Amino acid sequence: MNRIAYILVPVLFFIGLLFNSFAYYAKVVFALNTWINDLILLSILILSLHTIFRSARLDSIGITQKLRLILILILMIYLVSLALVSAVQPEFITPRYAGGYVFKPNSWSAMVTANIIGAVAIISLTLCFHLIRSLIYYRQKKNTHFYFLFMVLSGAVTIILATLSGKPLKYDLGYNFILTSVGLMVTTLFMIPNVFRVGWVTALNRKQKFFTFIGGIVFVLVAAGLFGAEVGGGLTYADMVNSYSILAGSFLMLMTIFMLLYSLATTINVLMHLPTAAIYDKKVREINSIYSLSRAITTVFDFDRIARSVTELAADATNAQACWIDTATSKSPALSRPMQLSALKIKPPLKIPYLERKLENRGQTESYPEATDRDVVEATLSAIMDEILKNKKPLVINQARREKLSRHLKKTGIESLMVVPMLSYEEVIGIIYVAKAIPFGFDQEDVAIVSALANQATVAIENTRLVKESLERERLAEELRIAHEVQMRLIPQTVPAVMNAEKTFSVGIGAVTVPALEVGGDYYDFLKLPGNHTGIVVADVSGKGTSAAFYMAEIKGIIQALGAQYTSPKELLGAVNQVLYHSIDRKTFITLIWADIDIDRQEVRIARAGHCPLLYLHGNQAEFLLSDGIGLGLDPGPIFRKSITELCLPLQPEDVFVLYSDGLMEARNAMGDEYGEQRLSEIVLRNRHLSAESIKDTIIADVSAFVGTMKSHDDLTCVVFKVNAVSVVNTQSLPAATARDVTTNPIG
């Protein structure tokens, strides 16, 4: 459709021009030729209106571009006409046949001139009309559309009336013009509400408003010229177009009046907006900066980038020359000091070399320059910082040179300074400084806007911190998970087979350790010792968590290294203590119980170093055996060795031995009761017929049931071993589990 119009409009004009030339030379004067001409023009008008109003490209351009285009178009009409008229010098007459109201060309060149001017006017004004319409429709209200429609309808009626009557539009209530004049006046009235639709002016910034004002004056002058100025030969511009066609002339007339009124309204409106334009701009900047910052903080988790955009925005919003931010160093988030310079934006005439240097050296060790450079500026800024840290309130210094606190800032060029703390839960986590080179640079609104920025930035920084922390937590959790796995590898994965040479006699073993945290300080192990001896060790490092886990690994190393070298448990523990004492933190000690099973001689020798007693089950008798001995790492040697006594017990079928850590005794239920020896001996007695593995399982199940939902607060370890006579088939103590224990591959 558009493409057709682009071809059709020029073609129609050309046809019109040919027709007029023919009519001129033929000197044929009859009403029909005016009608034909008007008809051609009407179709051109409708075609251009249709094409232009459909154009999406015109709607998408900005207000300022629209304004510029309107001005260019109207200037074009004016200049083209002027140039053409002065080049051709057309002559016009007012022939009687036209009723004496209308000029008619007196030469062919005049006729062509009128035609071209009319064509340019129709196309350009249609375009202008469309552009102005889109301005009128800016922030459209309910009635906007109706007012506009009334105006267009009334204008169309007026144009039709003028065309039909063959009389040009003018404000003349005389007999001849009464009808068209009334139409013109009514249309003018309908223009009024449309003319005041100039709300788009508020969307302009100060500079744009200024140019709109200048452009508006030019536009008013040009529009007035089109309306009334003589173009040449005593004709106005409208007269000339009327000579071409009353229809075109009327359209031009109405458009000129409308544009004149609209440009006047616009110019006056812009003029009234100009004084407040700066303040308005500032408000817009403030809103924009808060908006951009709140958008930035939801996406940016980079501390420095946030700090940089805050300085930019704060400086922009307050029109300041310098802005910088101190933030609490990560080591002391709830700082009193020190603060670290996070971002700096500074432009002439302000100069703060101290801050620039500080920003460059950021991250490096604080290297203080020569004493002369650590000057009054630094001292002043740090005094101001102290003030903020103390009061936690924004500080505005409007005459920096005069105030005692800031008078030494003279050489930086700072005349006014605003300092706003960033508060998070009443803690200063950062400070925003904004500086200007003029005194009285900041008012209450500036404080409000920078405070708002500070709040936003605080949220952003808190966010960043939280994200960092959660990442760190995740990393730690992962490390702990690995540590847990490593530690679990330190604990035997299988239990050894313990059987005498004749294979008539065996010891079944069940063992478990449950750390309270990811890693713990409990440890058990089995050692194959020379002479078919088996060593079983249960140890508990004091404290818990990571440090306990390290010592647990250490004690394993020591036991593995020394276990096979000593035949006497007492001597072994003495040696272990000696090694351990010198490599262990004074506050830490280790309790340990060592059982040396001699399966061939059917006896077990036990030594205890400060550890929980051994539960010994013989027949129906449960007994807690407590030999002497102090914890490992408490004493360098003599007292320790002296304290240890050995226990030697025979291994008889069905005997059950339970080694455990204090986590088992101290497991607590919701009432705060401890599991205790009584419960342990009862559950073992009740289940003594089971295999070692199953006894261990029932103990753990019983403790779990006892504790319930309470979180265990200590590592819990339990090693059960039970004596089995393999040849005695009819005892009930040979279930599958025991057999499995026996057949398990030996470890270590």
Partner 1 sequence: MNGFEVTRRDHQEISTLFIKGHLDAHTYPRFETELQKLIDEKRYKIIVDFRDLSYISSAGLGVFMGFIETVRDHSGDIKLCTMPPKVFKVFDLVGFPSLYEILSDDQEALKRFENRPSET
Q: Which residues bind partner 1 (CB under 8 A)?
A: 540, 542-545, 586-589, 591, 609-613, 626, 628-631, 633-635, 639, 642-643, 662, 666, 713-714
Least distance in angstroms from the C-beta of 736 to partner 1: 37
Contact 429, 423 (CB under 8 A): yes
Instruction: State the CB neighbour count (10 A cutoff) for residue 503.
Output: 10
Residue 424 or 643: the one with the smaller Cβ distance to partner 1 is: 643
Least distance in angstroms from the C-beta of 543 to partner 1: 4
Residue 433 or 589: the one with the smaller Cβ distance to partner 1 is: 589
Least distance in angstroms from the C-beta of 585 to partner 1: 8
State the maximum Cα–Cα separation within the chain, in Å, rounded to a whole number.
Answer: 152
Contact 216, 266 (CB under 8 A): yes
Least distance in angstroms from the C-beta of 711 to partner 1: 12
114 half-sphere exposure, CB direction, 13 A CA radius: 33
Least distance in angstroms from the C-beta of 608 to partner 1: 9
Residue 394 or 629: the one with the smaller Cβ distance to partner 1 is: 629
Contact 689, 732 (CB under 8 A): yes
Least distance in angstroms from the C-beta of 635 to partner 1: 6
Least distance in angstroms from the C-beta of 401 to partner 1: 50
List the alpha helices (DSSP H) in 89-205.
108-136, 144-165, 178-195
DSSP 3-state of 592: strand
Residue 544 or 679: the one with the smaller Cβ distance to partner 1 is: 544
Residue 612 or 703: the one with the smaller Cβ distance to partner 1 is: 612
Contact 256, 191 (CB under 8 A): no
Residue 424 or 681: the one with the smaller Cβ distance to partner 1 is: 681
Residue 408 or 544: the one with the smaller Cβ distance to partner 1 is: 544
Least distance in angstroms from the C-beta of 639 to partner 1: 6
The C-alpha atoms of residue 147 and residue 143 are separated, in whole angstroms, by: 6
DSSP 3-state of 533: strand
Q: Specify the residue for token string 């350009």.
A: 124
CA angle 135-204-76, nearest 5°? Answer: 55
The C-alpha atoms of residue 593 and residue 690 are separated, in whole angstroms, by: 24
Report the sign of the C-alpha dihedral through residues 154, 156, 157, 163, in that order. Answer: positive
> Going edge to edge, which strands form the sheet with 603-609?
522-529, 533-541, 590-598, 603-609, 646-650
Least distance in angstroms from the C-beta of 290 to partner 1: 43
Gyration radius of the chain's alpha carbons: 50
The C-alpha atoms of residue 384 and residue 395 are separated, in whole angstroms, by: 9
Least distance in angstroms from the C-beta of 593 to partner 1: 11
Residue 141 or 713: the one with the smaller Cβ distance to partner 1 is: 713
> Going edge to edge, which strands form the sheet with 416-424?
339-346, 322-328, 427-436, 416-424, 395-397
Residue 254 or 634: the one with the smaller Cβ distance to partner 1 is: 634
Least distance in angstroms from the C-beta of 714 to partner 1: 7
Residue 556 or 608: the one with the smaller Cβ distance to partner 1 is: 608
DSSP 436: E
Taking phi over 0 as left and psi of -120 to 50 as alpha, with beta for the rest, 643 belongs to: alpha
Strands 621-625 and 614-618, by their bridges, are antiparallel
Residue 608 or 688: the one with the smaller Cβ distance to partner 1 is: 608
The C-alpha atoms of residue 573 and residue 706 are separated, in whole angstroms, by: 34
